[in-house]
Amino acid sequence: MIRIFVYNVTNADEFLNNGTKPILDELGPYVYIETWEKVDIVENSNGTISYNQKRVYIFNEEMSQGLEDDVVIVPNIPMLSATSQSKHAARFLRLAMASIMDILKIKPFVEVSVGQLLWGYEDPLLKLAKDVVPKEQKLPYDEFGLMYGKNSTSKDRVTVWTGVDDITQYGIIDKYNGRSHQTHWSTEQCNRLNGTDGSIFPPHITKNTTLFVYEKDLCRLLPLKFEKEVTVKNGVQGFRFTPSPDVFASVEKNIDNLCYCPAGPPCAPNGLFNVSLCQYDSPILLSFPHFYLADQSLRTAVEGISPPEKEKHQLFIDVQPEMGTALRARARIQINLAVSQVVDIKQVANFPDIVFPILWFEEGVDSLPDEILDLMKLATTVPPKAKYVLTIALFSLGGCLFLIAVICLVRKSHRQSTLHLEGSNYLASAAVDQAKKKAKMESGSHQH
């Protein structure tokens, strides 16, 4: 299931004309039931399998607080991406771009439905680019939408290790579209792909384990660290893993993030991750919702976004450590647009340099089915219980055998005592008989 919250701009004209602070109204959630399926699965000879990921999203009106037809006003991402990219171009190109936008009546904000914002709408700038841009530079889509093309089978071919030869590699990506590394970042370490899709991990996880999740739209591995022990539905025990607080930190606060800034300073502000290199140079910056773990100056640059709350805005995965299976997950990400002021383009001449929040989403699983949880609990908790029960049973059996032995000994002792008594009676009777015979003989001799 995915829950989407859209930031509706309520004072677009005042912001453009008077420079007032943008006022945002958070709408939603717009809820979609999401199903994943691996298709075109091929088993390879080296202990890997290859597949394509099929995703289906179905809008759930009952769980949503709004409709796909709800109209929102949001920044014009195709236009503002183009103007930001032209900031360092020749002046005559910027003036030409301004003229084209004037002719096509393209404005910095667009009024679209939530469904169009997510799944696509026809954009005049994209349509123009399709006609004039060389074939090798054309974008791979005809419409613009933040989730355009995702409600289908992905063209990306994923190859993962099955763990048949090495269980520590179970579920880990070997290749993505035939490549074992990305090419966006400045070091081999940061270009690695060897994480999982977040649904499974190699077994025997400890509190010192670092889990790695790879998502194409994030453009990098996301490291997750142990936070705490948890108990989910049906009493199954698990470990909660979350990103470290400095995962999106600025280079000044986390030097390890320098590799994600290949163009050099200035880099992304603290708490933001620049994905423009893998998003066709669109100035898209990702963060956690409500700028959680980011500089709060980003949030206060606009009005209408409440302070972040860990319980509502933290990304986490709860994992069953022995099996490596995800029990519960919340992937929470906010999509932002970095807008630059470009003086020569009159449509954005008054647009300040600002990070504009567009929407945030919460994707995840509340719980696995009861049948799976019951089997999981059986697999992880019965062996110790069986050992305990077996110990009690053996102890009880030993006690019973001891009791039986005592009873047998008592009975044997009683039997032996009885035999001795019976023998004594026999001897006594024999002695009495012998005495009687002797007395009778003596009596006969006196009579003679």
pLDDT tens per residue across span 63-83: 999 999 999 999 999 999 989
For the segment 267-295, the average pLDDT, to the nearest whole number, is 94
Instruction: Quote the tokens at residue 103.
Output: 């002719």
For 310, the enclosing helix (H) or strand (E) is helix 310-313
Instruction: Quote the tokens at residue 228.
Output: 């705490």
Q: What percent of the chain has pLDDT over 90?
A: 63
Q: Reply yes or no: is the peptide bond before residue 203 cis, omega within 30 of 0.
A: no
Q: Of 140, 170, 296, 315, whose CA–CA distance to 243 is shortest?
A: 315
Rounded Cα distance, 122 and 106, in Å: 12
For 379, the enclosing helix (H) or strand (E) is helix 370-447
For the segment 287-298, the average pLDDT, to the nearest whole number, is 97
Q: Is the pLDDT of residue 446 over 60?
A: no
What is the residue-averaged pLDDT of the chain? 85
329-333, 362-366, 372-376, range with the lowest pLDDT? 372-376
Distances (CA, A) of 215 to 182, 222, 241, 442: 12, 8, 17, 123
Backbone φ and ψ for 143, nearest 5 degrees, come out as -125, 165
Query: Cβ contacts of residue 14 below 8 Å, gap of 6+?
Result: 20
Rounded Cα distance, 72 and 5, in Å: 11
pLDDT of residue 360: 98
Query: Cβ contacts of residue 369 below 8 Å, gap of 6+?
Result: none
Q: Is the pLDDT of residue 411 over 70?
A: no
Tens of pLDDT, residue by residue over 97-147, are 899 999 999 999 999 999 999 999 999 988 887 776 666 666 777 789 999
For 52, the enclosing helix (H) or strand (E) is strand 48-59
pLDDT of residue 59: 98
Tens of pLDDT, residue by residue over 375-386, are 767 766 665 555
- Read off the amino acid at residue 429: S
For 34, the enclosing helix (H) or strand (E) is strand 24-43
pLDDT of residue 380: 65
Q: Of 172, 138, 176, whose CA–CA distance to 156 is shortest?
A: 176
pLDDT of residue 409: 45
Distances (CA, A) of 360 to 86, 350, 448: 27, 26, 138
Rounded Cα distance, 217 and 212, in Å: 15
Rounded Cα distance, 287 and 274, in Å: 9
CA angle 89, 272, 205 (to 5 degrees): 135
For 417, the enclosing helix (H) or strand (E) is helix 370-447
For the segment 187-206, the average pLDDT, to the nearest whole number, is 94
pLDDT of residue 398: 46
For the segment 405-423, the average pLDDT, to the nearest whole number, is 43
For the segment 397-404, the average pLDDT, to the nearest whole number, is 47
